[in-house]
């Protein structure tokens, strides 16, 4: 509590009695359970020098859960990839294999 005023340095205050201070920190997005997730799997070649990647979009949840799911898929497929902006990119054409893995985990594909 003692550090609270230090977080507000440089802030312009309002005389409005209903004003609520927002420090700009995002609230963590709650991850939906797998059976409520509706993921879309597609193949993509755009801006990837002709190389095919499998793109999984529609994930709703925290960045940590997204990275955890990405790590599982990359391990099962034995390839690299990345996870950011609520989408997972897996190098190569693994659409059928990823669909099977996600279905087994309880995700709707």
Domain 29-104 CATH (choose: 3.40.50.1980, 3.20.20.70, 3.40.50.1370, 3.30.780.10): 3.30.780.10
| pLDDT for the residue numbered 42 | 92
pLDDT of residue 101: 92
Taking the C-alpha atoms of residue 14 and residue 92, their distance in angstroms, rounded to an integer, is 54
What is residue 25's predicted lDDT score, i.e. its pLDDT? Answer: 57
Digit-by-digit pLDDT tens for the chain (109 residues) are 556 666 666 666 667 777 766 665 555 567 778 788 889 999 988 878 889 999 999 988 888 889 999 999 999 999 999 998 889 999 999 999 999 999 998 888 8
- Predicted local confidence at residue 70, as pLDDT: 93
Question: What are the domain boundaries of the chain?
Answer: 29-104
How many CB atoms are located within 10 Å of the residue 35 CB?
9
Report d(CA 55, CA 63) in Å as an integer: 16
């Amino acid at each position: 509590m003692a550090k609270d005023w230090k977080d507000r340095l440089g802030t312009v205050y309002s005389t409005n009695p209903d004003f609520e201070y927002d420090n700009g920190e995002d609230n963590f997005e709650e991850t939906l359970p797998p059976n409520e997730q509706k993921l879309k799997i597609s193949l993509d070649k755009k801006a990837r020098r002709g190389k095919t990647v499998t793109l999984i979009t529609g994930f709703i949840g925290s960045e940590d859960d997204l990275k955890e799911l990405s790590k599982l898929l990359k391990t099962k497929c034995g390839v690299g990839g990345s996870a950011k902006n609520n989408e997972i990119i897996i190098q190569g054409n693994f659409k059928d294999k990823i669909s099977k893995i996600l279905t087994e985990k309880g995700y709707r594909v």
